[in-house]
Amino acid sequence: MTLGSSPRKVIAGPNQKVKSVCGECNNEWMSRLERKSRPLVGSLMQDVSTPLDASQRALLAAWSVKTAMVLDSVNQRDRSSFYERCECERLRLDLTIPEKTTIWTGRYYGSSLGANGTDLWLGLPDKTRAARACVTTIIVGHLAVQALVIRRLPGYEQTSLFADSKVGPWGGLLIEVWPPQTPSVEWPPPLSFTNRGRTSIAALMDRWKIGKLVE
C-alpha cells in the first residue's frame, strides 16, 4: 500500500476472503461491473482528461459503492458493518445506490494505491445521535474517489441532517459525481491533490474527522 510520498507498506498475506461475498456474486455481477467500469476507471486512473456524462457518473458511483461495501465487510474487527444486507441486495439486483449517498472524485498528481474508511455519527444540538455515516476514500493511480453515505436512525427519518467536513479547498479539488446535478462534468477538477498541506491526499482522508479525539 502506498499513500503519497510515504514509504510503501508491505503486508504479509494481504489477500483476504470476504465472507459476505459468495463465489457466484464475485464471479458474476461483480465481475460484470468490474469489466464494464474498467475503461472509464482505467482512463481516470491513468490521468486521461474525460468528460463525464450522467451514465458514466452512475457507473462510477456503482463501482465506488461496490468497492466501499467490500471494504466495509473486511473491517469488522472493532465495529459493526455499516452497509445493510438490503442495500447490498439492491446494488446486486439493479445497481441501486443507497439513499443519502454523495460521491466526489478528484485527481492526485502522483500515483498511489490505497483505501480507508471513516465512521461518523451525526447529532442534534442536544448531542443526541440521529444518524450514522460512513466515508470511504479510494486512491487508485491518479484517481481519487470519496463516498459519503448517511443513514438516519429510527425515529429521525424526517430530520434534516447535514455532515460538515473540515474547511479546505474542496470546491477546486473535487467534482461531485453523485447524485448527478448537471448533464456533464469535466474531469479532472481545476486543482490536484499533492503530498503535503491542505491539498494533500492525507487531508482528503482526514476530511471528515471533525470531532474531538477520544482516548
pLDDT tens sequence across 166-182: 999 999 999 999 998 88
Going by pLDDT thresholds of 50, 70 and 90, the confidence category of residue 149 is very high
pLDDT for res 203 = 93
pLDDT for res 215 = 39
Mean pLDDT for the stretch of residues 82-96: 94
Sign of the dihedral defined by the CA atoms of residues 42, 187, 165, 158, in that order: negative
Mean pLDDT for the stretch of residues 126-154: 93
pLDDT at 14 over 70: no
pLDDT for res 84 = 93
For residue 121, is it within any domain? yes
Going by pLDDT thresholds of 50, 70 and 90, the confidence category of residue 103 is very high
For residue 55, is it within any domain? yes
Grid coordinates belonging to 30: 461483480
For residue 125, is it within any domain? yes
For residue 212, is it within any domain? no
Query: Strand pairing of 184-187 and 101-123?
Result: unpaired
CA distance 161 to 151: 10
**Which residues form the domain of 154?**
24-205
pLDDT for res 159 = 84
For residue 156, is it within any domain? yes
For residue 195, is it within any domain? yes
Report the number of distinct structural domains present in the chain. Answer: 1
For residue 41, is it within any domain? yes
Going by pLDDT thresholds of 50, 70 and 90, the confidence category of residue 213 is very low
For residue 6, is it within any domain? no
